[in-house]
């Protein structure tokens, strides 16, 4: 019997709803206020603040399906297992239940006929074997035995397999992984992940945040223990159906069928088709969460995925516009699961088509640039009698970076001219570029902040007051279009069609300084996004925020509300030491968008 991915997803959430878990929506792919990564890469990532003690507005029992992107193994996409986009199912206890109830619920969901109804004989588990840093997890092992798992199906494995830690210090604890038999027939006696690792595939992991590591030698029990579990839908679907490849599941068969129809049986290449199917799936979700193709940060990854997909189509001899046709399959597949897909369906198709058209032009320009390099070699031969035989890595990277020219195409064209490409030099140039991108990403902070110094935080609060002042003076058509804040100044882009007058700038300054001088206080609340919209909370880029949002309110002692806006913080708690606000420049940023630069002086 085929087990569909949609059934796994819906049954999982339905099951945990019966166990008094609040079903929370997926956070967007782009993390809120976490500049250390470009995308959410794990189910637990958006919930870290709550696992570390911050109260969640929906309670202590949560369950969700989280969208994730990982591109570290992008070159392996096309094999049987690697993907760039995946979905993680998870249930969470924030200081509520612990090992016994977590393990019991996992077992019930997997084996009860009302839910997945798996054969218990096909399941084995692992627990932490203990080491000099932490004790053996006999508690979990005894719970597994108590619910019916035979002792020979329980493997004790080391920390590298069964220990989770947030970092060198902080919350940590053992985990217990659940595996499904992938071998022929029933598993033999004494077969488990420890004795027979190749025949068991992980389907679920229960992490028990039990300890707080103070230092290398000190581990203390946490006062409020948490549970964090994760089950990948794609891996679970392929494993439970005993398929060889994730691309054989219902998640990918429709798109691969469409690609085969598009290119024809004779030119169809399975690996190329898989890369297209994976990359357009990821691109569809990225665009739905507000990412657009660019040459930096998330946009750089998106552009690379789309252009890789186009290149794979070209390798199969197909040069027409096609990405939106593949995306339509994924829109249909996910629009009832993730609201952002349905809400942004037209944007998804438009961005994909635009990027295809752009790349068609850069491909042609790139070929011209390549031919120019070859002509240079011919000129060198005429002058010196020596013909260069290798294209420098830096030139190959220019073709890639400036013209979006895939390295593989440069190598293929070079081969036709009896030339080689300095791939090592290309990789060095690429790594240098990536280091610059990572440095830029690491320099970002909450809400466009360059850092979290007192000066920067004060300017961030002034930014909120200024936006409120702009809306008061210019009208409610004004919204944020971008910001960048350093300790020295704020730069703020906003929607407005014309240059501000001196009187308008002065009125905005007075609005901000009046709030500062009166001594506003900042408060934070959490509420559903739709409720925030209904209450008139100011915000831009709503699609990038989760369904539960943080709202910062700046209020005078007499109850006057100066600003109420979506934000991730941080802000001053009181305005006493902010200084005097001054607009130093107001200018055009782009069509329909103005830019202000401003300072605070004491």
- The DSSP string of 420-462 is EE-HHHHHHHHHHHHHHHHHHHHT--GGGBS---HHHHHHHHH
Contact 262, 128 (CB under 8 A): no
Q: What is the mean pLDDT of residues 87-116?
A: 96
Higher pLDDT, 432 or 596: 596
Q: What is the mean pLDDT of residues 503-530?
A: 87
Q: Which two tokens stand for residue 522?
A: 């900042």
Sign for the pseudo-dihedral over CA of 168, 174, 178, 183: positive
Higher pLDDT, 119 or 537: 119
Q: What is the mean pLDDT of residues 354-376?
A: 86
The CATH superfamily of 5-248 is Bira Bifunctional Protein; Domain 2 (3.30.930.10)
Q: What is the mean pLDDT of residues 30-56?
A: 82
Strands (E) in 195-340, as ranges, are 200-215, 218-232
Only one residue has tokens 């979700």, namely 285
Does the structure show a pLDDT above 90 at 59?
yes
pLDDT of residue 124: 97
3-class DSSP assignment, residue 400: helix
Q: Is 399 left (phi over 0), alpha (psi -120 to 50) or beta?
A: alpha
Per-residue pLDDT band for 20 (boundaries 50, 70, 90) equals very high
Higher pLDDT, 592 or 238: 238
Higher pLDDT, 486 or 83: 83
3-class DSSP assignment, residue 308: helix
Q: How far is the C-alpha of 559 from the C-alpha of 396, rounded, in Å?
A: 62
pLDDT of residue 34: 65
Does the structure show a pLDDT above 90 at 330?
yes
Per-residue pLDDT band for 45 (boundaries 50, 70, 90) equals confident
Per-residue pLDDT band for 400 (boundaries 50, 70, 90) equals confident
- Burial of residue 239 (CB within 10 Å: 0-12, 13-18, 19+) is buried
Contact 504, 474 (CB under 8 A): yes
Closest by CA position to 545, among listed 26, 36, 88, 13: 26
pLDDT of residue 541: 66
Contacts (Cβ under 8 Å, ≥6 apart) of 158: 128, 129, 131
pLDDT tens per residue, range 206-216: 999 998 888 87
Contact 478, 592 (CB under 8 A): no
Per-residue pLDDT band for 440 (boundaries 50, 70, 90) equals very low
Other beta carbons within 10 angstroms of residue 536's beta carbon come to 8
Strands 85-94 and 218-232: antiparallel
Per-residue pLDDT band for 31 (boundaries 50, 70, 90) equals confident
Q: Does domain 446-601 have CATH number 3.40.50.10320?
A: no
Higher pLDDT, 51 or 440: 51
The gap between the terminal CA atoms of the chain, to the nearest Å, is: 72
Q: What is the mean pLDDT of residues 213-241?
A: 90
pLDDT of residue 52: 75
Does the structure show a pLDDT above 70 at 444?
no
Q: Is 502 left (phi over 0), alpha (psi -120 to 50) or beta?
A: alpha
Name the helix (H) or strand (E) containing 547: none
Does the structure show a pLDDT above 80 at 493?
yes
DSSP secondary-structure letter at 406?
-
Q: What percent of the chain has pLDDT over 70?
A: 95
pLDDT of residue 520: 81
Crossing angle between the packed helical segments 233-240 and 5-18, to the nearest 10 degrees: 110
Higher pLDDT, 367 or 378: 378
Q: Using only C-alpha atoms, what is the Rg of the chain?
A: 28
pLDDT of residue 476: 86
When mean pLDDT is compared over 106-120, 292-306, 545-559, the highest value belongs to 106-120
pLDDT of residue 447: 46
pLDDT of residue 165: 83
Crossing angle between the packed helical segments 323-334 and 270-288, to the nearest 10 degrees: 60
| DSSP-assigned letters across all residues of 248-268 | GSTTTHHHHHHHHHHH-TTT-
Q: What is the mean pLDDT of residues 251-263?
A: 98
pLDDT of residue 309: 93
Contact 128, 136 (CB under 8 A): yes
Closest by CA position to 93, among listed 55, 53, 61, 48: 61
pLDDT of residue 176: 97
Average pLDDT, the chain: 89
Higher pLDDT, 3 or 588: 3
pLDDT tens per residue, range 270-305: 999 999 999 999 999 999 999 998 867 888 889 889
What would you measure as the largest C-alpha separation in the chain, in angstroms?
Answer: 86
pLDDT tens per residue, range 125-184: 999 999 988 899 999 999 999 999 999 999 999 999 999 886 787 788 999 999 999 999
pLDDT of residue 358: 85
Domain-wise residue ranges, the chain: 5-248, 253-442, 446-601
pLDDT tens per residue, range 413-431: 899 899 999 999 998 988 8
Contacts (Cβ under 8 Å, ≥6 apart) of 139: 99
Distances (CA, A) of 386 to 334, 377, 382, 390, 524: 58, 9, 8, 12, 71
- Strand-pairing partners, residue 209, are 226
Only one residue has tokens 């997945």, namely 116
Contacts (Cβ under 8 Å, ≥6 apart) of 383: none
Q: What is the mean pLDDT of residues 46-64?
A: 88
Only one residue has tokens 């190329």, namely 272
Segment among 189-198, 324-333, 571-580 with least mean pLDDT: 571-580
DSSP secondary-structure letter at 338?
-
């Amino acid at each position: 019997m085929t087990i569909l991915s949609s059934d796994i997803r819906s049954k999982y959430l339905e099951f945990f709803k019966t166990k008094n878990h609040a079903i929370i929506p997926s956070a967007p792919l782009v993390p809120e206020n976490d500049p250390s990564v470009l995308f959410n890469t794990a189910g637990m990532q958006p919930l870290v603040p709550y696992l570390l003690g911050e109260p969640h507005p929906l309670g202590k029992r949560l369950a969700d399906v989280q969208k994730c992107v990982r591109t570290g193994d992008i070159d392996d996409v096309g094999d049987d297992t690697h993907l760039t986009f995946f979905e993680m199912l998870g249930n969470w206890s924030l200081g509520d239940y612990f090992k016994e109830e977590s393990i019991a619920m996992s077992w019930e969901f997997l084996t009860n006929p009302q839910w997945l109804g798996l054969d218990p004989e096909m399941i084995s588990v692992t627990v932490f074997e203990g080491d000099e840093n932490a004790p053996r997890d006999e508690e979990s092992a005894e719970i597994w035995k108590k619910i019916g798992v035979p002792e020979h199906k329980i493997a004790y494995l080391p920390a590298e397999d069964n220990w989770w830690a947030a970092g060198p210090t902080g919350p940590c604890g053992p985990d217990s992984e659940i595996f499904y038999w992938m071998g022929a027939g029933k598993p033999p006696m004494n077969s488990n992940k420890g004795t027979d690792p190749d025949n068991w595939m992980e389907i679920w992991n229960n992490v028990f945040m039990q300890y707080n590591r103070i230092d290398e030698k000190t581990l203390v029990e946490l006062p409020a223990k948490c549970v964090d579990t994760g089950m990948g839908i794609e891996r679970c679907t392929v494993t439970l159906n005993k398929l060889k490849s994730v691309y054989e599941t219902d998640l990918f068969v429709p798109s691969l069928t469409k690609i085969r129809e598009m290119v024809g049986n004779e030119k169809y290449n399975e690996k190329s088709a898989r890369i297209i199917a994976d990359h357009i799936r990821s691109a569809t979700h990225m665009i739905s969460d507000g990412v657009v193709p660019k040459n930096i940060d998330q946009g750089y990854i998106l552009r690379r995925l789309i252009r890789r997909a186009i290149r794979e189509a070209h390798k199969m001899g197909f040069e027409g516009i096609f990405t939106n046709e593949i995306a339509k399959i994924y829109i249909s597949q996910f629009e009832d699961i993730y609201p952002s897909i349905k809400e942004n369906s037209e944007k998804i198709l438009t961005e994909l088509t635009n990027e295809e058209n752009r790349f068609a032009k850069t491909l042609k320009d790139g070929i011209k640039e390549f031919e120019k390099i070859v002509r240079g070699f011919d000129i060198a031969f005429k002058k010196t009698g020596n013909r260069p035989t290798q294209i420098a890595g830096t030139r190959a990277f220019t073709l890639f970076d400036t013209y979006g020219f895939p390295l593989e195409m440069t190598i293929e064209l070079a081969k036709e001219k009896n030339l080689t490409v300095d791939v090592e030099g290309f990789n060095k140039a690429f790594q240098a570029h990536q280091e610059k991108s990572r440095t830029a990403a690491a320099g970002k902070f909450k809400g466009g902040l360059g850092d979290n110094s007192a000066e920067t935080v004060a300017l961030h609060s002034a930014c909120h007051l200024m936006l409120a002042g702009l809306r008061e003076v210019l009208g409610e058509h004004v919204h944020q279009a971008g910001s960048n804040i350093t300790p020295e100044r704020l730069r703020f882009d906003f929607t407005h069609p014309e240059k501000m007058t001196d009187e308008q700038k002065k009125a905005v300054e007075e609005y901000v300084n009046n709030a500062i001088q009166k001594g506003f206080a900042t408060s934070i609340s959490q509420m559903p996004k739709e409720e925030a919209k209904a209450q008139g909370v100011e915000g831009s880029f709503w699609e990038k925020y989760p369904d539960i949002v943080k709202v910062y309110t700046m209020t005078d002692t007499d109850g006057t509300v100066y600003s109420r806006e979506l934000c991730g913080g941080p802000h001053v708690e009181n305005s006493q030491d902010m200084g005097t606000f001054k607009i130093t420049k107001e200018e055009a940023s782009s069509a329909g968008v103005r830019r202000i630069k401003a300072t605070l002086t004491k």
